[in-house]
């Protein structure tokens, strides 16, 4: 098992099929993983939703912030909860991408404070 081999970071992928069954199904799986291996550093492959706020992922990557450029039906903005909602018609694609990047950058700052707070 990878956790027993003490890798610095372990990637968690293949969660999209779980998400298609519903986020609660995905949460149940992540609950088991984080409860069993609370000391491990997990990288969330392709993760860019509210699960980033709910679980102590070490890192993540995603191109979801670019989805509005790829597909007009994906004109979505990140909400402070990490959920995504339809963007107002008044926002152009570039503004949607900028807003989504702002959310992700702020999330990184929030997580960094959590990880390195020694108070």
pTM as predicted: 0.70
Q: What is the pLDDT of residue 3?
A: 61
Q: Are 41 and 9 in contact (CB under 8 A)?
A: yes
The 10s digit of each residue's pLDDT in 55-77 is: 999 888 888 778 888 888 889 89
Cα-Cα-Cα-Cα torsion 48, 50, 53, 57, nearest 10 degrees, comes to: -50
Give the chain's residues under pLDDT 70.
1-5, 110-119
Q: What is the pLDDT of residue 47?
A: 80
Domain regions of the chain by residue span = 1-62, 63-119
């Amino acid at each position: 098992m990878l956790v027993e081999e003490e890798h610095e970071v372990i990637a968690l992928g293949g969660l999209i099929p779980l998400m298609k069954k519903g986020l609660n199904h995905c949460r149940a799986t992540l609950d088991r993983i984080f409860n069993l291996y609370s000391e491990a550093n997990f990288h969330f492959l392709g993760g860019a939703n509210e699960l980033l706020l709910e679980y102590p992922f070490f890192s993540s990557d995603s191109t979801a912030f670019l989805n509005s450029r790829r597909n007009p039906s994906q004109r979505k903005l990140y909400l402070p909860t990490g959920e995504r909602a339809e963007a107002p018609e008044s926002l152009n694609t570039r503004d949607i991408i900028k807003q989504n990047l702002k959310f992700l950058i702020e999330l990184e700052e929030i997580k960094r404070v959590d990880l390195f707070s020694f108070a």
